[in-house]
Amino acid sequence: MALWKPDPTFYASPREAVKAPPETLAYVAAFDRAAAKPDAIAVLDVDPASDSYGSVVGWTELPNLGDELHHFGWNACSSALCPYAPHPHVERRYLIVPGLRSSRVYILDTKDDPKKPGIVKTVEPEELAARAGYSRPHTVHCGPEGLYLTNLGGADGADGPGGIALLDHTSFEVLGRWEVDRGPQHLAYDAWWHIAHDVLITSEWGTPSMVEDGVVGELLLGRKYGHALHFWDLRKRTHVQTVDLGDEHQMVLELRPAHDPTKLYGFAGVVVSVEDLSASVWLWHRDGDRWAARKVITIPAEPADADDLPPVIKPFGAVPPLVTDIDLSVDDKWLYVSCWGTGELKRYDVSDPFHPVEAGSVRIGGIVRRTPHPAAPDLPLAGGPQMVEVSRDGRRVYVTNSLYGAWDDQFYPDGVGAWMAKLDSTSDGFAFDERFFPHGDDFRGLRPHQTRLQGGDASSDSYCYP
């Protein structure tokens, strides 16, 4: 049903969005690696004034097994205010929840009972395959003409290419493949845009056969995983330019464009360099009339005793940082970088995006360190900071610890566990909130992945006005 006033969670500009009230609920995708129990959307109380603060207060189980929930997104966001096709009276109420392994997409309604969202529609893998030619749906973004859903795999047995499917944002039907001309891109992962410039950016991970059973050493050392950024004409849906970061930089994952619509730059995280196991963050920007990218952050591997390492990295005698997620605050000032291998969450001041300055770091988990959370100092933690989400006002940062089922098992073979943490981030400090540490049985044996905050967060909305 249409509203009479714009949805109050829509903001015309990032400057206004940072004034949004603090979120009170967080939605977290949780999956069962064994596929013996249904995956679920966990609802967490993130209101510090509440008695149940920091605990799971809602739990919506899915009707199938083995979906492997991963990323998800909202049906509508601030892009509904964009001037060329405004529709601000739709509601932000549905979560679009893809199963990365099953290729099913669930639509959950959070309106009637925000703590117990109900499933209102399921898009079956057959519909995604028949209409768009894709499988393994991954990232969801709400655009002005529909929902953009990136996919890792092709359909009907084809491993690739992956790409973007467009979904109707009222009926949630798959409208079709988004690309008119995909150019040379074959490996897919993330997509986001400079919406006010009609530019879309995509990144590269691997096809389903390259990732679903874990990282494949020969492919990695053979530099076969993705190592490029792609730039597109958002209107014409055509590939414009490839920017190759160099094939030693394997797996270009999360894309975080500046929220300020007048700016044309953004950050991309690279998981690992096969030359020295370092991880890196790259800045894409305009260079004359072309796109360019440069490495602005390098995070070195940490030497370690081979006995402390899992088989997958034992030969290297070092822990790779494995930058698996990054997130940019809505004011474009702070960049958070997850080092899932070494168990560190770094914060950078990126006011000058070409010259990030490290401005804080916390340790938790890690392949060797197993740093505990300050709330439970005797409990060594597996996994590391992985999916990172930032509140709209930039003051709160949430992290979860699972990367992807098969990969968790490779890097944390004695069990990745399950935990979520929250950090308070101000210009003066960056530290754990000791009151917020859901872990272990709180997640009922499931592994937590992406977090979405009620009303929107730093990676959910895009803005058409500065």
Partner 1 sequence: MTEGSLAALVALGAFHGLNPGMGWLFAVARGLQERSRALLLQSLPAIAAGHAASVGAVAVLVSLTRSVTTTRVVAIVGGAVLVGFGLWRLLSQRHFRWVGMRLSLWQLACWSFLMSSVHGAGLMLLPVLTGMPAPGGHDHGLHGGGALSAGIFVTGVHTLAMFAVAGAVAVAVYEFLGLTVLRRAWLNLDQIWALALVAAGTATLLTA
Q: Compute the least distance from the CB of residue 459 to partner 1, in Å.
A: 21
- For partner 1, the closer of residues 6 and 246 by Cβ is 6
CA atoms within 13 Å, Cβ hemisphere of 144? 19
Nearer to partner 1, 11 or 189 (CB): 11
Are the C-beta atoms of 310 and 410 separated by less than 8 Å? yes
The Cα 400–Cα 272 span in angstroms is 20
Q: Is 457 helix (H, G, I), strand (E, B) or coil?
A: coil
3-class DSSP state of 319: strand
DSSP result, 272-290: EETTT--EEEEEEEEETTE
Residue 243 CB, nearest distance to partner 1 (Å)? Answer: 21
Separation of CA 77 from chain center: 16
Q: Which is nearer to partner 1, 85 or 357 (CB)?
A: 85
Residue 168 φ then ψ, to 5°:
-65, 130
Q: Which of 258, 342, 272 is nearest to 15 (CA)?
A: 258
Tell me the closest approach of the beta carbon of residue 147 to partner 1, in angstroms.
Answer: 12
Q: Which is nearer to partner 1, 50 or 262 (CB)?
A: 262
Residue 86 C-beta: closest distance to partner 1, Å: 5
Compare residues 1 and 49 and give the one whose CB is closer to partner 1: 1
Residue closer to partner 1 by CB (options 146, 160) is 146
Cβ closest to partner 1, residue 19 vs residue 36: 19
**Which residues of the chain form contacts with partner 1 (CB under 8 A)?**
2-6, 8, 10-13, 16, 81-89, 143-146, 170, 195-198, 234-235, 261-262, 464-466
CB of 125 to partner 1, least distance (A): 26
Structure tokens at 29: 């995708």
Residue type, 57: V
Closest separation between CB of residue 271 and partner 1, Å?
Answer: 31
Exposed e or buried b per residue across 156-194, where buried means at least 16 C-beta atoms within 10 angstroms of its C-beta: eeebbbbbbbbbebeebebbebbbeebeebbbbbbbbbb
CB of residue 74 vs partner 1: minimum separation in angstroms?
Answer: 17
How far, in Å, CA of 401 to CA of 381, rounded? 9
Residue 463: CB minimum distance to partner 1, A:
10
- Rounded Cα gap, residues 367 and 292, in angstroms: 34
User: Which of 154, 159, 148 minimizes the C-alpha distance to 202?
Assistant: 148
Q: Which is nearer to partner 1, 178 or 340 (CB)?
A: 178
Those residues whose C-beta lies under 8 Å from the C-beta of residue 148, and which sit 6 or more positions away, are: 140, 141, 142, 164, 165, 166, 167, 178, 191
Q: Which is nearer to partner 1, 63 or 83 (CB)?
A: 83
Residue 83 CB, shortest distance to partner 1, in Å, is 4
Least separation, in Å, of the C-beta of 174 and partner 1? Answer: 16
| Distance in angstroms (rounded) separating the CA atoms of residues 421 and 426 | 17
Instruction: Lay out the sheet containing 191-194: strands in order across.
Output: 191-194, 199-202, 228-233, 238-244
The dihedral built from the CA positions of residue 352, 188, 251 and 293, taken in this order, carries a sign that is negative
278's CB contacts (< 8 A; 6+ apart) are 272, 298, 299, 300, 301, 320, 321
DSSP string, 256-271: EE-SSTT--EEEEEEE
Residue type at position 408: D
Task: Tell me whether residue 12 or residue 219 sits nearer to partner 1 (CB atom).
Answer: 12
Q: Which is nearer to partner 1, 176 or 445 (CB)?
A: 176
The two tokens of residue 16 are 């206004």
Least Å distance, CB 300 to partner 1, is: 40
Instruction: State the nearest-atom distance from the C-beta of 262 to partner 1, in Å.
Output: 6
Question: Which is nearer to partner 1, 73 or 356 (by Cβ)?
Answer: 73
Structure tokens at 139: 């990232």
